[in-house]
Structure 1
């Protein structure tokens, strides 16, 4: 059984000093990884991670997740390799197919059907593997110039990701096609805490129940075959509350934010953590046993709220 890893995602423009302070605090609280997001209004997903790594001593950094449709594979490889160097091999690359249609519209990008987006994601993964292993395929004249000036070859520091070379790869989602791709190629599989409601406009989400999460994990393991035991399972928690009134707070959550769930479903889903620090720690142990979730990520607003749970599980 894997040891727990704990992360938090953060986004939005802020001074470098604030990024550094945030990540130093997170490291002191026991977090293992700081994660950037790739949404159009939030600024670069990569630049703050270099600051985060420089400000900390052991904490890893990563993306949860890069919108593949925003990136050319060669440029994405360049960003990932640069961060791998700047962080001394502490970078993890998370990829997804994109799910917010308004961002595509605002960026002037085509909103392709989900099947096409996942096919393109698969091609990106293949191209990243090639680029991480072989480099960009420079002509001999360019190699000679690089060598003359003492420049490094564009290859990553880490050698254990993507089956050969490069940072560990996370692929996240909820549907069969993206999770099948993740099962076959990813080092880490992220199970989405929210899923798009079929037949509703893009961006209409509901919380994933424990039953759905269990079915998704079973599907991934079947698709992964012999490599299933080597896959790390990630969960992005959508709500955290430390309280002595577990059921009462769950009732309020359902009434105000998730009327499609029963109170028992809200208390059972791995994407909501409500209770005392001891109760939540025990829930996470049970979730690791049931679902395989050992890599737990919370949103930045819950970073400090969740910290006592990390202490219980350390």
Structure 2
């Protein structure tokens, strides 16, 4: 059973000092990694990660890059350069994209899911090629930057995170990812792209069985990543879960809310116990909370570390 690792993501920042102060707070609270997203309206991920790595000892990563936004050659350059500038502390998360409005606003073709999954698969292969290949057309005296790490992409780059819920994305994760992430978000049929419901405990267990079956011999090497969507500290778990179920528009029962790994609800001790159960049942050891929960979740980190 793997030791826990803890991380938070950054949605935005008001200034450089505010960003770095927040990340230093996370470091002092016991977090291991800070993640940047890849959404329009959010900061550009790679400059943010370099700044954070320069000011802290945290690992940094993307959670996740929208593969259809990028060209493989240019993204390989970004990744390799960032891995060097962060002293080999970079994790790379890749996804197929799910917010149609971002594609429309950026003037990028929005393909059906099958097309975006194909773009994700091609990106994984393309990055591996550019991390390993020597390009004859480079001018004399020029060289491609190479990642410092040799853990992901077939031993040629940083650790690779692939997250998703559907069969097609999870097959790619099973074949290539060092870290498989489950955000627990299912598209609601008939609703606009990006309208989600949370997965139940049983749905999560089924998705993990699916990945493990397709990963074959490499299944035991996978690190499992959990993106926690809500953290609610309370002395009355059921009452709080009832309120959350209402907020979720009736897509989950109260018992579903109490059982799903994507919602942590209860006292610090109860939330720590939830995560220990989730690690035992699913394998989740790499835990990410959204940045607004950074301070609220910190005592849970302390309790888990003290009891490990």
Query: TM-score normalized by structure 2?
Result: 0.96
Q: Is the contact between residue 171 and residue 189 of structure 1 (CA under 8 Å) also seen in structure 2?
A: yes
- Measured in 2, the distance between the counterparts of 1:85 and 1:20 equals 20
Q: Is the contact between residue 16 and residue 48 of structure 1 (CA under 8 Å) also seen in structure 2?
A: no
- The answer to whether structure 1 residue 229 and structure 2 residue 225 are counterparts is no
1:258 CA drift (Å): 4.0
Q: Show structure 2 runs of 5+ residues with no match.
A: none
1:131 CA drift (Å): 1.0
**Mean Cα deviation higher: 5-14 or 275-284:** 5-14
Matched with 2:141 is: 145
Q: Is the contact between residue 67 and residue 97 of structure 2 (CA under 8 Å) also seen in structure 1?
A: yes
Q: Show structure 1 runs of 5+ residues with no match.
A: 147-151
- Measured in 2, the distance between the counterparts of 1:197 and 1:260 equals 9
Q: Is the contact between residue 83 and residue 91 of structure 1 (CA under 8 Å) also seen in structure 2?
A: yes
Q: Is the contact between residue 212 and residue 219 of structure 2 (CA under 8 Å) also seen in structure 1?
A: yes
- Measured in 2, the distance between the counterparts of 1:30 and 1:174 equals 29
Q: Is the contact between residue 158 and residue 165 of structure 1 (CA under 8 Å) also seen in structure 2?
A: yes
User: After the TM superposition, which residues 1-314 of structure 1 pair with which residues of structure 2 at under 5 Å, given as runs?
Assistant: 1-57=1-57, 59-135=58-134, 137-139=135-137, 142=139, 144-146=140-142, 153-314=144-305
4+ runs of 1 displaced by more than 3 Å? none
- Measured in 2, the distance between the counterparts of 1:32 and 1:231 equals 18
Deviations 1:27-48 (A, max 9, x none): 1000010000000111201111
Question: Residue 115 of structure 2: SS of its match in structure 1?
Answer: helix
1:198 CA drift (Å): 2.3
Across the two proteins, how many residue pairs are aligned to each other?
305
Q: Is the contact between residue 19 and residue 51 of structure 1 (CA under 8 Å) also seen in structure 2?
A: no
- Measured in 2, the distance between the counterparts of 1:100 and 1:253 equals 24
Q: Is the contact between residue 242 and residue 276 of structure 1 (CA under 8 Å) also seen in structure 2?
A: yes
Matched with 1:149 is: none
1:13 CA drift (Å): 4.3
Query: TM-score normalized by structure 1?
Result: 0.94
Q: Is the contact between residue 77 and residue 144 of structure 2 (CA under 8 Å) also seen in structure 1?
A: no
- Measured in 2, the distance between the counterparts of 1:41 and 1:99 equals 15
- Measured in 2, the distance between the counterparts of 1:19 and 1:51 equals 9
The Cα RMSD (Å) is 1.2
Q: Is the contact between residue 233 and residue 265 of structure 2 (CA under 8 Å) also seen in structure 1?
A: yes
Deviations 1:136-159 (A, max 9, x none): x1436x2x423xxxxx64111101
- Measured in 2, the distance between the counterparts of 1:181 and 1:256 equals 33
Question: Residue 163 of structure 2: SS of its match in structure 1?
Answer: strand
Deviations 1:82-133 (A, max 9, x none): 1101100000100000000111111111110101111111111001111112
Question: Residue 141 of structure 2: SS of its match in structure 1?
Answer: helix
